[in-house]
Amino acid sequence: MTTDKMTDSYGLHHSILPSNDGLYGEFGGKIEHPELAKAMDDIEQGFREIIKDEDFIEEMSRLRQTYVGRPSPIFHARRLSAHCGGAQIYFKREDLNHTGAHKINHCLGEVLLAKKLGKTKVIAETGAGQHGVALATAAALMGLECEIHMGVVDIEKEHPNVSRMKILGAKIVPVSRGAGTLKEAVDSAFETYLDELDSSLFAIGSALGPAPYPEIVSYFQSVVGREARTQFLETTGNLPNKVVACVGGGSNAIGIFSGFLGDKEVEKVGVEPAGEGLETSNHAATMTLGVKGALHGFKCYVLLDEDGEPAPVHSIASGLDYPGVGPQHSLLRDMGLATYESATDAECLDAFMALSRLEGIIPALETAHAIAYAMRVAKDMSPDETILVNLSGRGDKDIDFILDKVKL
Ligand SMILES: *Cc1c(COP(=O)(O)O)cnc(C)c1O
């Protein structure tokens, strides 16, 4: 408990804190809309207060242990490592958290923050439904209303998650305008939020968006990297040579990277979806092929179409399907403190099956991108070198899709 208290103090991820303007270098930034700007300032101030508040620290620590099941273990994937024939591969098992992924880490924080600010409701968008389920879970636990905006196309596609959210007591708002997917769901959720600024908190799903969201989400995810560093040292006596995570918006990656930002010798690698190939237009490799731009109220690397609009993107993993990326990753990349690689849909499917068959762990399709990259580079490394992968989530949600794609 005491260690958790001390390490939870604010100073820890100082190396990627934003300026007063919410900027990380030239990325990120604050929203200009006057009413929203005021709401964002209130959230920021509330956040700075609670993270120093003894009661909050105590409650977060208790919920992490008794509700989420933290600390999640580190696992040495011996058969997968032997199969690749090189470096030893380890996993940080965020898939073992309650609700099956890392998202519960920041959703708990956001819901506790909403309570602290006297709000009775959380509002959010969801794409594949993963963020919606984690938020609905945390809201049920804290007795808050939860309203999730979701495109009609996604509602059709992700039915099990829609059912979960409903069972958990969330209200689902179907969004049919435009393409009826994530982007429209964000717009719709923000519009509702504007009407209910006093009673509700907008709870974003990744380490992106306008300030203070990237900071808040990465703060609550930093528990992953902090635990992982200590556990890895205890288990192996050394730091890993590489720390690898998949990157959609960037929350699981910034969470695990943040534990190792002070360790120059540890190479941090984010893995983006190369979809059907970087040479096609069906991918979401924002860092690899994007340009500096803006999206949903913040500056970052972004994939644009010929008209300069955010491009339609593709990945086999709907949780990675976003044309932008968090501002902290955009800065880490420009500073050379992390590198960003990619894995294709096909590599992802191979990694998904390899981990299932060799270790008895069915990973999320998102996570399988990080595993695919680790498998690719492990074979060219020596057996006394190590790779630590953030196993961001489990793949139960993906099994029907896999049965359609893979011949068993
Ligand atoms: C949502 C999700 C991701 C992608 O989101 P990040 O914010 O980039 O971490 C990755 N893995 C799983 C299991 C997810 O649910």
Q: What is the pLDDT along the chain (408 residues), one digit of tens a residue?
A: 333 333 443 334 445 889 999 999 999 999 999 999 999 999 999 999 999 999 999 999 999 999 999 999 999 999 999 999 999 999 999 999 999 999 999 999 999 999 999 999 999 999 889 999 999 999 999 999 999 999 998 898 888 999 999 999 999 999 999 888 888 898 899 999 999 999 999 999 999 999 999 999 999 999 999 999 999 999 999 999 999 999 999 999 999 999 999 999 999 999 999 999 999 999 999 999 999 999 888 999 999 999 988 888 888 988 898 899 999 999 999 999 999 999 999 999 999 999 999 999 999 999 999 999 999 999 999 999 999 999 999 999 999 899 999 888
Extended beta strands in 144-262, E state: 145-151, 171-175, 200-202, 242-246
Per-residue model confidence (pLDDT) at position 14: 44
The reply to whether 70-100+222-405 shares the fold of 22-65+103-214 is yes
Choose the catalytic residue: 125, 184, 227, 359: 125
The class that CATH gives domain 70-100+222-405 is alpha beta
Residue nearest to atom 7 of ligand 1 (CA): 251
Map out the domains of the chain as residue ranges: 22-65+103-214, 70-100+222-405
H-state helical runs in 202-303? 213-236, 251-258, 286-289
Quote the pTM value.
0.95
Using an 8 Å Cβ cutoff, are 272 and 316 in contact? Answer: no
183 is known as an active-site residue: no
- Measured between alpha carbons, how far is 352 from 355 in angstroms, rounded to an integer? 6
Using an 8 Å Cβ cutoff, are 251 and 325 in contact? Answer: no
Residue nearest to atom 4 of ligand 1 (CA): 248
125 is known as an active-site residue: yes
* CA 217 to ligand 1 centroid distance, Å: 12
Per-residue model confidence (pLDDT) at position 227: 97
407 is known as an active-site residue: no
Residue nearest to atom 2 of ligand 1 (CA): 319
**Ligand 1 site residues, Cβ closer than 6 angstroms:** 101, 103, 130, 206, 246-253, 319-320, 364, 366-367, 392-393
Contact residues for 406 (Cβ-Cβ < 8 A; gap 6+): 349, 353
Q: What is the CA radius of gyration of the chain?
A: 20
* Joined tokens for residue 341: 């690689």
Choose the catalytic residue: 94, 115, 392, 397: 392
Length of the chain: 408
Q: In Å, how far are 191, 200, 203, 219 from 43, measured between CA atoms?
A: 18, 11, 10, 14
Per-residue model confidence (pLDDT) at position 1: 31
Sign of the four-CA dihedral 73, 83, 251, 239: positive
Q: Report whether CATH 3.40.50.1100 matches the domain 22-65+103-214.
A: yes
